[in-house]
Amino acid sequence: MFIKKNNMKNLLICIIALCFIYSCKEEDTSIESCAKAASNYVDTSKTITFNIEKENWYIVHNDIAGGSVLLLFNGSTNGDSAKIKLDADTLVTYVKINLDNQKKFNTNAEVKLYPGDLPINEFTTKTTIIVLKGTDTLTIPIESCPLKY
């Protein structure tokens, strides 16, 4: 069985065209990371301070499905201890923010876990930081800048 030269030529053109079509990508409009300006927080009695010098939010993709939103942040506090909320679908827990002897921190925390698919459209995520000093508590709600997968 022989293939005519024209048929072979047409087949080759079709293969090249398909390779070209599949190699072209749609314009990437994702915002997989973002940074926010420094923030300073104080409780109402002005007993506790919590200062964020750098705040970077970013998306990490899971190889199977879904992913996470992480927060890389550093700064200082005068509190005795601090923790940040992790929201893992139905499990909510708090993770300790490690403070050095000068009460400075440099933390990379997973704040939101998406076990299925990441949101398709632009989205923000929220978390809470709790700072303790003696019997006083400072609760800080923070929100990411817009992210998009």
**For residue range 38-93, what is the model confidence (pLDDT) as tens digits?**
999 999 999 999 999 999 998 887 777 778 889 999 999 999 999 999 887 677 88
How many angstroms separate the most distant Cα atoms in the chain? 90
Beta bridge pairs of residue 147: 123
Q: What percent of the chain has pLDDT over 70?
A: 78
The whole-number average pLDDT for the span 99-103 is 96
pLDDT in the model for residue 51:
97
More confident residue, 10 or 130: 130
- 109 is written with which tokens? 């925390």
Decide if pLDDT at 7 tops 80: no
More confident residue, 51 or 115: 51
Residues 67, 87: Cα–Cα separation, whole Å: 12
* CATH fold for domain 33-143: Immunoglobulin-like (2.60.40)
Decide if pLDDT at 124 tops 70: yes
Domain boundaries defined on the chain? 33-143
Which alpha helices (H) appear in the chain, and where do they start and end? Answer: 5-23
The whole-number average pLDDT for the span 117-141 is 89
Label residue 110 by pLDDT band (50, 70, 90).
confident
Q: Running DSSP on this structure, what letter comes out for residue 3?
A: -
Residues 147, 31: Cα–Cα separation, whole Å: 5
The answer to whether residues 114 and 136 touch, using CB atoms and an 8 Å cutoff, is no
